[in-house]
Amino acid sequence: MKTLQTNTKYIAWLSPEVMHNDSKKWLSELEFAKDEQLFFNDLVKTYTLQLIDSKYFSKSKTIINNLSKLQKITDKLIETIKEHARDLQIMIDGIDQLEEERTYKKEHEKYASKVATFFKNYRIQKSQLFTHVKGIVKENKQKYLLNKT
């Protein structure tokens, strides 16, 4: 006997309060990521000489370019989520606008997915930066200790 696999799509019923809280949470996390990116920039500035060393240059350039792209994406995503939060009015205005409300919920799901994907990529890039800088610092410490003796 064969089983039939169906792909059922449905839009979860989300209350305006839940969607508002989601938007606030996303904005808070994105703003924190933006602040964290300032720290990353300072970290890169601090270790610029080591990062541009020919041995590390290629990997450093890739990581720094990816971080720069993430900063731009973060800014765009913050603006998009702010606009989405402002549009929540359609859900609470007391007027039945079924198509607009359905569209808003679909957008909300789309943004939930975008934010989740962004943070997945963000954590990977952050980890790569820290691992790379940690390796450079360790090597420099070893060189320093060898030269001291």
pLDDT band at 126 (very low <50, low <70, confident <90, very high): very high
Q: What is the mean pLDDT of residues 117-134?
A: 94
pLDDT band at 149 (very low <50, low <70, confident <90, very high): low
- The pLDDT value recorded for residue 144 is 63
**Which region among 38-52, 72-86, 91-105, 106-120 has the lowest average model confidence (pLDDT)?**
91-105
Q: What is the mean pLDDT of residues 21-41?
A: 95
Q: What is the mean pLDDT of residues 101-123?
A: 93
Task: Report the C-alpha gap between 136 and 11 in whole angstroms.
Answer: 48
pLDDT band at 7 (very low <50, low <70, confident <90, very high): very low
Q: What is the mean pLDDT of residues 112-137?
A: 94
Task: Report the C-alpha gap between 97 and 46 in whole angstroms.
Answer: 54
Task: Report the C-alpha gap between 135 and 62 in whole angstroms.
Answer: 16
Q: Where are the alpha helices (DSSP H) in the chain?
A: 16-46, 48-51, 57-86, 89-92, 98-148
Residue 146 has pLDDT above 70, yes or no: no
Q: How far is the CA of 43 from the CAs of 17, 122, 147, in angstroms?
A: 39, 16, 25
- The pLDDT value recorded for residue 10 is 42
Number of H helices, E strands in the chain: 5, 0
